[in-house]
A and B are shown apart, each in its own frame.
Chain A
Amino acid sequence: MLSKPNTTGKVKAGGPRNRIRMSFGDRAFTTANYNIVIIFALLCLIPFILVIMVSFTDEAMLLKNGYSLIPEKFSLEAYRFIFSSGSDILNSYKVSIIVTAVGSFMSLFMVCMFAYVLSRKSVKYRNVIAFYMYFTMLFGGGLVPYFVLVTSLGLQNTYWAMIILPLMNAWNVYLMRNFFSSIPDSIFESVKIDGAGEMTIFLKFAVPLAMPGIATVLLFTVVGYWNDWFTAILFVNKAQLYPLQAMLRFIMTNLAQLSMSAQLAATARKLPEESVKMATMVITIGPIIFVYPFLQKYFVKGIIIGSVKG
């Protein structure tokens, strides 16, 4: 009888008291779990630290010692090269920002509108439209017809290719529809009786009420556009139009070509190749690192809701 309140109290208090009473087996088990988690987290973290450190390392040291976690000699040469005016990498940064900004805005608008229609129970054919979209997840023409279509639309080597092609994906629409569906239908009906038009209902009521959902989908969209390299590899072959991801790929394979550019000839310096590669990687993931802490909870919410009903 006495033991019962004691145990529940123990669970609630958690922490130190719990630890004192832990058996040897429990302690070993907990230690093992801490080790697993911390080791995996370190495995995820160390590569990034390594890349950042290498990007700040003096090139001569790199050539002598290879990559190392603690740079023997600090240098900002790589970043100076990247951010010098007229740099191709800086230009790619610009392309990526334009594509991500314009694309995310357009994509979010279209996805929201489409998802909203799919979520309204008064729309009789919403399931037909949903299946119309869902079918594209089940079956597709494959890469080649897609490639031929995009080229014959004249989208090759344009900003529009990178903006339009990733505009909508069924997964984001489903996610967004789930958010809209959680708004009670009675709200729409009562507003409609008050005489509001459908567009007003959408913009003034549905969108503000689904704001947390929109934030989640926006983040997925922005990260999607920022990380999209496949579209660029397939449809863009002009260096001035390379987004950052494609530029990073280009640099990893043939940096030497870039070092022949006028930019370098003017300075008559040797290109710090290895550190430039790593510095480009750092500025590629930089924006994501910066926004990540603020956005993490939305990502987590997104995957949980998405997985409940894909």
Chain B
Amino acid sequence: MEISLKQSTGPGKKKSPFLAEMKTNWVLYLMAVPGIAFFFIFRYIPMAGILMAFKNFNYRDGLWKSPWVWFKNFEFFFRSAAFPSVVYNTIILSSLGILLGTCVSVGLALALNEIKHNLVKRVSQSVMIFPNFISAVAVSVIVYNIFSYKYGIANQIREWLGMQPRDWYTNSLEWVFYYLGVGIWKSAGYSSIVYLAAISGISPELYESAEIDGAGRAQQLWYITLPCIKPVIIMLFILSVGSILTSDAGSIWLLIGDRANLFEHMDTIDTFVFRMVRTNPNVGRTTAVGLIQSVCCFFIVVGVNRLTKKIYPEGAIF
């Protein structure tokens, strides 16, 4: 009797770690259900939509019944004239953004750290962080304020200097720098907080002994502060490299709109996809472009993380 009972629970017991866990913590798992459901519906189901990249999708047949075309959609992108330039632009824009952004944020943090006047420090820091909290649309209004032909500040300055007003929306290369400038304006103050926090963690004894040795402020910055925050700089730099193949389609679009004459240096993979989505998309082709980008991004992030683990283990994300 006893033996048979044991045998009957035997196969059940193999599953039981899972079931037992569910039984003891079922309330906690239930609490996670809304979150799990959200990520399933809005993040994982679209992953199944990747199939559309291999199909000639139409809404009537739906995802499953649309005819397969396999790699035709990818061919379209690789053969299109836009392909090399949008990939190139994306990489250039984001790497310049990462590089300049890091330099300016670190520079600001170092400068802020030297300011001993408390009120000046607090007020200026508050002001610098603020642009980070306004929307990209509001930022685009400010850009309009500067570059608007009729009323903009830029043309007013030209006039004041005795020059003719000019149309600012003509040179694509120029806009690369305006875009980078706007990005730095928006986020440098905010990013500098992290570096500032790292600086505040440096032991004051280092500075005291440097002072006894007769090091000036600038030397202290160069020989103490910078080397001490170097790991943080490297870590954040590497982390941001993971996003080198992505760009913020929204911000770019809000700056230059659909002005085709500015696309030469400003059209990125994301703006390309975003434009295709808005203007009567060929669903399959657009999905294919997005898929190429997603896959590349995935490998870049994973690779970068491996590198981080080697250089700076604490900075690795997984």
Interface residues of chain A, those whose CB is within 8 Å of chain B, are 3-4, 7-8, 11, 14-15, 18, 23, 25-26, 29-30, 33-34, 36-38, 40-41, 43-45, 47-48, 50-51, 54, 62, 66-68, 110-111, 113-114, 116-118, 120, 122-125, 129, 131-134, 136, 138-149, 165, 167-168, 173, 197-199, 202, 223, 226-230, 233-234, 245-246, 248-249, 252-253, 274, 277-278, 281, 284-285, 288-289, 292-293, 296, 299-300, 303-304, 307, 310
Complex-state Cα separation, A118 to B25, whole angstroms: 12
B135 partner, pick from A18, A47, A145, A284, beta carbons under 8 A: A284
Closest to A223 in B: B133
User: With a CB–CB cut-off of 8 A, which chain B residues contact A117?
Assistant: 28-29, 31-32, 35
Bound together, the chains give a CA A113 to CA B34 distance in angstroms of: 9
Contacts of B34 in A (CB 8 A): 110, 113-114
Sampled A-B contacts (30; CB under 8 Å): A7-B211, A7-B212, A11-B207, A25-B218, A29-B114, A29-B216, A33-B114, A33-B115, A34-B115, A37-B120, A41-B124, A41-B128, A43-B185, A44-B128, A66-B150, A66-B153, A67-B152, A113-B34, A123-B29, A138-B298, A139-B295, A141-B287, A142-B46, A142-B293, A143-B277, A148-B49, A227-B134, A245-B135, A292-B130, A300-B193
Query: What 1/0 flags go to B276-293 for Cβ under 8 Å of A?
Result: 010001010011011101
The 4 closest A-B CB pairs, nearest first, are A145-B49, A142-B290, A141-B46, A114-B35
Q: Establish whether residues B48 and A50, one from each chain, have CB atoms under 8 Å apart when the complex forms.
A: no
Closest-CB distance, A158 to chain B (whole angstroms): 15
Which of A138, A165, A278 contacts B141, CB < 8 Å? A278
CA distance in complex: A116, B204 (Å): 37
CB–CB A67/B151 < 8 A: yes
Is A44 a contact partner of B151 (Cβ separation < 8 A)? Answer: no
| Contact residues of B: prevailing secondary structure | helix
Instruction: Compute how far the CA of A50 lies from the CA of B145 in the bound complex, rounded to whole angstroms.
Output: 8
Q: A136-B44, A233-B250, A292-B126 are in contact. List 10 more A-B contacts (CB 8 A).
A: A40-B128, A40-B189, A41-B128, A111-B35, A113-B31, A122-B25, A136-B43, A229-B137, A292-B130, A293-B126
Residue in A44, A67, A133 whose CB lies within 8 Å of B130: A44
Taking CB atoms, residues of chain A closer than 8 Å to B52 are 144-145, 148
A293 to B50, CA, bound (A): 45
B101 at the interface (CB under 8 A from A): no
Is B126 touching A274 in the complex (CB atoms < 8 A)?
no
Within the assembled complex, what's the spacing in Å between the Cα atoms of A38 and B115?
A: 10
Chain-A contact segment, one of B1-9, B76-84, B91-99, B104-112:
B104-112
Judging by beta carbons under 8 Å apart, are A277 and B141 in contact? yes
Residues of B35-52 whose CB lies within 8 A of A? 35-36, 38-39, 41-50, 52
Whether the pair A140, B294 counts as a contact (CB closer than 8 A) is yes
Tell me if B21 and A124 are in contact (CB < 8 A): yes
| A209 CB, min distance to chain B CBs, angstroms | 17
A50 — which chain B residues lie within 8 A by C-beta?
Answer: 145, 153
CA distance A226 to B133 in the complex (A): 10
Contacts of A253 in B (CB 8 A): 257
Query: Quick check: A229 and B193 within 8 Å, CB to CB?
Result: no
Does the CB pair B120–A8 fall under 8 Å?
Answer: no
Across the two chains, which residue of chain B brings its CB closest to A32? B111
Assess whether B208 is in contact with A299, with CB atoms less than 8 Å apart: no
Whether A229 touches B108, Cβ cut-off 8 Å, given contacts A144-B273, A199-B27, is no
Q: Chain A's interface: helix, strand, loop or mixed, by majority? A: helix
CB-based contact A110/B35 at 8 Å? yes
Write the residues of chain B forming the contact surface with A, with a CB cutoff of 8 angstroms. Answer: 21, 25, 27-29, 31-32, 34-36, 38-39, 41-50, 52, 107-108, 110-112, 114-117, 120-121, 123-124, 126-131, 133-138, 140-142, 144-146, 148, 150-153, 155-156, 185, 188-190, 193-194, 197, 204, 207-208, 211-212, 216-218, 236, 239, 250, 254, 257, 273-274, 277, 281, 283, 286-287, 289-291, 293-295, 297-298, 301-302, 317-318
From B32, B156, B207, give the contact of A67 (CB < 8 A).
B156
Q: How far is the CA of A249 from the CA of B38 in the complex (A)?
A: 29
Given known contacts A110-B38, A148-B49, A288 and B124 CB-to-CB distance under 8 angstroms: no
Name the CB-closest residue of B to A281.
B141
Contact A139 B123 (CB under 8 A): no
- Which of A129, A140, A248, A252 is within 8 Å of B43, CB to CB? A140
Tell whether, in the assembled complex, residue A45 and residue B115 are in contact, meaning their CB atoms are under 8 Å apart.
Answer: no
CA of A40 to CA of B128 in the docked complex: distance in angstroms? 7
CA distance A54 to B130 in the complex (A): 20
Say yes or no: A229-B128 contact (C-beta < 8 A), given A67-B152, A142-B293, A198-B27. no
Choose one: A26, A67, A227, A296; the contact of B153 (CB below 8 Å). A67
CA distance A51 to B124 in the complex (A): 19
Q: How far is the CB of B41 from chain A (nearest CB, A)?
A: 8
